[in-house]
Amino acid sequence: MKRFANSIIIGVLITIVVQSCSNSILDYNDPNNYDTNSYFNTPSQIREASTAIYSGLFFDRMMGWRWPEMFDVLANEANAQPPARTNEANIIAFLQYQFNGNNDCISGYWKMLYRIILRANLTIYKGNEYLEKHQDDNAMVKESIGEAYFLRGWAYTQLAFYWGRVPLRTSYDQTGNEDAKRTDTEEEVWAVAEADFKQAQNLLPPSWDDNNRGRATSGAATGFLGKLYLYTKKYEEAEAEFSKMNNYALVPADKWSGMFGETEENGPESIFEIQFQFWKGVSNTTGTFNNPEGNPLYGRENCHQQLYGWNDWNNWYFPERRVIDFRYNDESDAAYVDPRAKLTFYGGGIGDDVWCENCTSGPKPFTLADAYYRKYLNKEFKETENTAESSNNLILMRYADVLLMRAECALKGAAPNVQKAIAFINEVRIRIGAFPYEKNYTVDQAFELLKRERQLEFMGEAQRFNDLKRWGILKETMDPEMAALGVSPIDPKYYYFPIPQVEIDNNFKLGTVDNDWN
């Protein structure tokens, strides 16, 4: 369902005149000279303001291009072919754990998040102004405010998790706070996100009509609030939120691949995903190379498929080390290949060995020496992406994640319950056709099963780096893998991202940045 993507295009034509920040990170020049006094004064205009927050996700070459690459290579879930080594030095720096605050992926992610925060602050300000002025309980306005709280909360979770202490901007009028100091603690940032998700829970609807599908829902706010609690080790609070989400469901095994394709997005397992769309004859196939607003052609296509396809740009292949992960022993100690292997990658001896099974040209044998991703690619339906003609959404949370986070809560809470944890893990395994765990396990053994389950289920979904980081095992896990790639041991400083140099240079009240890092 792609209708909401069309509404994004309408929303991004709306002006946002920045009066809240002093540097270019959040600036967007308005060609039509609108301002906050002359616009965003009706429910439909406030809805346009909330729509423009989503548009922030398409800036700085992030979510449809660099973001998947960054987190794939940080977790050794993608390895570089020559085109990547030639053309993507900024991503190769992540692959080698040699990036710093001058890397434009670091500054791009930071800018994108604060742009979302700015636009959310505008929507909250104008929405509340409307409600107060009209003494109105307008549903559209309240929903728009809820969307703003959700997206601002998500942005602050990213800042808290990857950077820790950051400047807080929680109002649209930043007069006197143009240069903002970092918080004293990381917990202050998490607290803002927590409050935002709670507001969103109360203001957002449980679902939208087809014309607005893809917007944030109260269920998405609940899911991300639970995830926030999990990441901050408040396991009982996390479980309390996750237990509210039984209206979601796992898709059957024959629909699993469709979640990552172009035609079956926003299904019963989806909790929140970024909406991409390519319009034939209208879209700019390289629009995502630039910022999406002010361009004559739309730039809402996803470059992920073009980057990872062996007969497209061929930047990344599926690492042999990850192929090995799909081989393990069953409970009788017999060799076993996880059924997700054939759904996740081509080749490697255990992946899918036929592609283009739904192409007009007919099926083709996969004969390359290197394995390549099947997941998130469209190789079952078309031979090439024809320079990024891709409409695949990017899933940020799905119900399988909720079940496995509930398993983690059951193991890590004050009263560990292995049986409950295994039951959640088995829901995910049985859906895909993997054998269920039936033996008795200790808490530590069950946690090892959970670690493997998360890795296999979410391969290529930007989850593994986060998991290794929050479990405190990033260095010990990745050092041997990096050594095999000729990469030096990981410096512990990479548990946090560096503060972007552009922020250090422009925010004079930022405060201390230790060793030009964080």
The pLDDT, as a whole number, for residue 25 is 40
The pLDDT, as a whole number, for residue 290 is 65
Do 430 and 338 contact (CB within 8 A), yes or no?
Answer: no
Residue with the two structure tokens 């706070």: 177
Element spanning 270, H or E = strand 270-274
Do 216 and 266 contact (CB within 8 A), yes or no?
Answer: no
pLDDT class for 477, splitting at 50, 70, 90? Answer: very high
Q: Residues 451-456: what's their mean pLDDT?
A: 99
Q: DSSP assignment, residue 213?
A: B
Higher pLDDT, 30 or 187: 187
Q: Residues 452-459: what's their mean pLDDT?
A: 99
In terms of Cα–Cα distance, which of 177, 269, 174 is closest to 223? Answer: 269
Q: DSSP assignment, residue 20?
A: S
Whether the per-residue pLDDT at 150 is higher than 80: the answer is yes
Helices (H), 178-336: 186-203, 218-231, 235-242, 304-308, 320-325
Convert 113-141 into a string of H (helix), E (strand) and C (coil): HHHHHHHHHHHHHHHHHHHHHHCCCCHHH
Other beta carbons less than 10 A from residue 280's beta carbon: 7
Q: Is 324 exposed, middle or buried (0-12, 13-18, 19+ CB in 10 A)?
A: exposed
pLDDT class for 12, splitting at 50, 70, 90? Answer: very low
Q: Residues 258-264: what's their mean pLDDT?
A: 95
The radius of gyration computed from the CA coordinates of the chain, to the nearest angstrom, equals 22
Taking the C-alpha atoms of residue 239 and residue 243, their distance in angstroms, rounded to an integer, is 6
In terms of Cα–Cα distance, which of 462, 512, 517, 467 is closest to 491? Answer: 517
The pLDDT, as a whole number, for residue 23 is 39
Whether the per-residue pLDDT at 17 is higher than 60: the answer is no
Which residues have CB under 8 Å from 199's CB, separation 6+? Answer: 145, 146, 149
Asked which of 198-202, 248-252, 286-290, 388-392 is least confident by mean pLDDT, the reply is 286-290
The pLDDT, as a whole number, for residue 32 is 58
Q: Residues 492-496: what's their mean pLDDT?
A: 97
The pLDDT, as a whole number, for residue 301 is 86
**CATH topology (fold) of 3-316+391-516:** 1.25.40
Q: Residues 112-134: what's their mean pLDDT?
A: 97
Instruction: For 279-316, write each residue's pLDDT tens digit.
Output: 776 655 555 566 777 665 566 889 999 999 999 999 99
The pLDDT, as a whole number, for residue 296 is 54
Q: Residues 312-322: what's their mean pLDDT?
A: 98
Q: Where are the domains of the chain?
A: 3-316+391-516
pLDDT above 90 coverage of the chain, percent: 84
pLDDT class for 190, splitting at 50, 70, 90? Answer: very high
pLDDT class for 463, splitting at 50, 70, 90? Answer: very high
Q: DSSP assignment, residue 290?
A: S
Instruction: For 376-434, write each residue's pLDDT tens digit.
Output: 999 999 999 988 889 999 999 999 999 999 999 999 999 999 999 999 999 999 999 99
pLDDT class for 63, splitting at 50, 70, 90? Answer: very high
Q: Residues 433-450: what's their mean pLDDT?
A: 99
Whether the per-residue pLDDT at 482 is higher than 60: the answer is yes
pTM for the structure as a whole: 0.94
